Structure 1
Amino acid sequence: MYSFADMCGMATTTQSGVQLRTESLGGLHWIGILAALVSAGVHLLLGVRMAPSGMGISFILAGLGFLGAIVLILIDYRRRAVYAVGIPFVLAQIGLWLLINFVNGSKSFPADIGTLGAVDKVAQLVLVGILVALLRS
């Protein structure tokens, strides 16, 4: 018979021996994980579209960075350090986006943001707010 924790993926051990420790995650964590998944998805999608260019590779690496952070949170590996590193990581993503597209690019802000850009930046702003809140708690 499986326990509720087993069915929900809480504190279960994977085949590689890594144990998921989701029982201590609160609502903010899950919203942050969702925001990071959205941003990871956007970055991976754009990265695959632009591959094998340098920009495409950088988007893929950024997407993998978001996914890696999610895994670290789920296995409870130095969560506070992940929050602390995540804040400048996400802020750098936002800053580079503004710089590349609007400061040095030909796009006009806010008219040329686009749907993927808007979804990604909203998710990233939510993520930064959550990371700050989690780090302060």
Structure 2
Amino acid sequence: MSTETASDGLALHTESMTGLHWAGVALATVTGAIHLWLAYAFRADDTALAVAFLIAAVGFLGGVAAVLLGYRRRLFYVLGIPFTAGQIPIWYVVNAPDFGATGIADKVVQVLLIVVLAVLYRRGS
């Protein structure tokens, strides 16, 4: 069943989602989870950085929720592009010259997410 009603009355609207939509959901979930994990990891050492990671995680996971609920998808695609793209130079400035494998993997995920969002937006999906 492609449309399910959650216990809180919200309905998932996944019937119109394509493989590209699901790829975007997966990519945004991965980067959202990484940022959530980083928020947890930095909570004691650098509260400001932990809060920034938490805000990023909420942004990515909130976008996933909006797409799954079918709420103004095109708006979330177009807002998601600069939101995601903005993460890359911030990561570079904060981490240069010591780039870890997790950060690099996350940036690859984010670049792929930007491509997916741009294609979805252009298609009017």
- TM bucket (normalised to shorter chain) is over 0.9
User: What 5-or-longer segments of structure 1 have no aligned partner?
Assistant: none
What is the CA distance between 1:44 and its match in structure 2? Answer: 0.7
Instruction: After TM superposition, list the pairs within 5 Å mapping 1:1-137 onto structure 2.
Output: 5=1, 10-52=2-44, 53-102=47-96, 107=97, 112-137=98-123
Q: Which runs of 4+ in 1 moved over 4 A?
A: none
Secondary structure of the 1:51 match is: coil
TM-aligned CA deviation for residue 113 of structure 1: 2.1
Deviation of 1:129 after TM superposition, in Å, equals 0.2
In structure 1, distance between residues paired with 2:73 and 2:7 = 22
Code of the aligned partner of 1:135: Y
Separation (CA, whole Å) in 1 of partners of 2:75 and 2:67: 10
**TM-score normalised by L of structure 1:** 0.85
Secondary structure of the 1:14 match is coil
Q: Which has the larger radius of gyration?
A: 1
Q: How far, CA to CA, are the matches of 2:101 and 2:57 in structure 1?
A: 18
Q: Percent identity?
A: 39
> TM-score with structure 2 length normalisation?
0.92
Deviates more, 1:49-58 or 1:80-89: 49-58
> 1:41-94: CA deviations, max 9, x gaps?
111111101115100111011111111100000000000000010000001111
Deviation at 1:39, TM superposition (A): 0.3
